[in-house]
């Protein structure tokens, strides 16, 4: 199976837009190098092992420039720096037109995949069997790439947009007057096919959400013994009723083990995609002879 098969039919237009943004008029550097056929090595660098992610995007960047990419490893595999991950061939000017866009994309997507993999490994080593997920706090216009990186890294991408899941947060609830009112309104239009995730701050709010029919109850910013005991009491009180418990808010590598308890079904965090360390790549055209 290929992760590329996840991508929607429209995604290639984003690549065209990236190329147009980077060369809106004259290509002065391209004038210097011309269009002689060249070979370039794509190198994965950095200082620590990393997960390769973003392959179909790089393929399309260079395909639109009539270049060819041969990968020397599979997407989702971990590489040790310095590693030649691919060889790119084409006209010198075209290689350089795609260079920076491809490197920036690989750096970001691989960084997210690497961080996602690390979070999952830490949680599993702690005995956690639930779902590790990202969030919707992604970069406008770049969400597809960032969500893709999470999936390649082995975690759940969480909801992709406002239309793919109903999530009721504090502003929704305050606007409706109560959790029960907000859930009732959402159910009246969302139908059976959309899960309903409700953010709560207290055990009392969690009980109201479960009673009103929430599919997922997000215990926002609860930590330590409070999180653990709240989850246990909710399970006991609502034994036989179907719902999932989610923990979110302020989760990072430092407190991940504390939050990754099996009383919780879903652990969602923006730490796997916001402010992550990018992975360093370079594209080096080889000298003739």
User: For residue 17, which phi and psi values (nearest 5 degrees)?
Assistant: -65, -35
- Rounded (to 5) percent helix, strand, coil in the chain: 45, 20, 40
The answer to whether 244 and 195 have CB atoms below 8 angstroms apart is: no
Cα 203 to Cα 219: distance, rounded to the nearest angstrom: 8
90: left (phi over 0), alpha (psi -120 to 50) or beta: left
User: What count of other Cβ atoms lies within 10 Å of the Cβ of residue 207?
Assistant: 17
Closest CA to 197 of 268, 255, 125, 285: 268
Residue 120 annotated to the active site: no
Token duo for residue 24:
């809106």
Q: In whole angstroms, how large is the CA radius of gyration of the chain?
A: 23
Token duo for residue 25:
């008029």
Q: Is 278 helix (H, G, I), strand (E, B) or coil?
A: coil
State the pairing for strand pair 50-51/78-79. antiparallel
- Which one of 137, 147, 169, 287 is the catalytic residue? 137
Token duo for residue 177:
């007057």
DSSP 73-119: S-TT-EEPSSEEEEEEEEEHHHHHHHHHHHHHHHHHHHHHHHHHHHH
Token duo for residue 179:
């959790």
Element (H, E) at 227: helix 224-237
| Residues classed as catalytic | 137
């Amino acid at each position: 199976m290929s992760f590329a098969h996840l991508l929607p039919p429209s995604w290639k237009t984003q690549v065209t837009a990236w190329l147009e943004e980077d060369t809106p008029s004259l290509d002065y550097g391209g004038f210097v190098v011309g269009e002689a056929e060249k070979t370039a090595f794509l190198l994965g660098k950095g200082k620590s092992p990393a997960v390769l992610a973003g392959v179909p995007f790089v393929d399309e960047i260079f395909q639109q420039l009539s270049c060819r990419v041969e990968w020397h490893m599979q997407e989702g595999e971990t590489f040790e720096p310095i590693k030649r991950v691919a060889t790119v061939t084409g006209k010198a000017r075209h290689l350089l037109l795609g260079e920076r866009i491809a490197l920036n994309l690989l750096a970001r997507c691989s960084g997210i995949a690497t961080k996602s993999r690390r979070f999952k490994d830490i949680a599993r080593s702690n005995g956690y069997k639930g779902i590790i997920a990202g969030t919707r706090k992604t970069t406008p216009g770049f969400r597809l790439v960032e969500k893709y990186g999470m999936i390649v890294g082995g975690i759940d991408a969480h909801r992709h947009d406002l239309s793919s899941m109903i999530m009721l947060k504090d502003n929704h609830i305050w606007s409706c007057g109560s959790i029960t009112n907000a859930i009732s309104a959402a159910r009246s239009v969302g139908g059976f096919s959309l899960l309903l995730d409700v953010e709560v701050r207290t055990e009392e709010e969690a009980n109201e959400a479960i009673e009103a029919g929430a599919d997922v109850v997000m215990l926002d910013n609860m930590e330590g013994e409070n999180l653990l005991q709240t989850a246990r009491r909710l399970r006991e009180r609502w034994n036989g009723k179907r719902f999932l418990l989610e923990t979110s808010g302020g989760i990072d590598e430092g407190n991940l083990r504390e939050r990754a308890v099996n009383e919780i079904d879903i652990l969602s965090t923006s730490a796997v995609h916001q402010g992550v360390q990018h992975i360093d790549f370079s594209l080096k055209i080889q000298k003739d002879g």
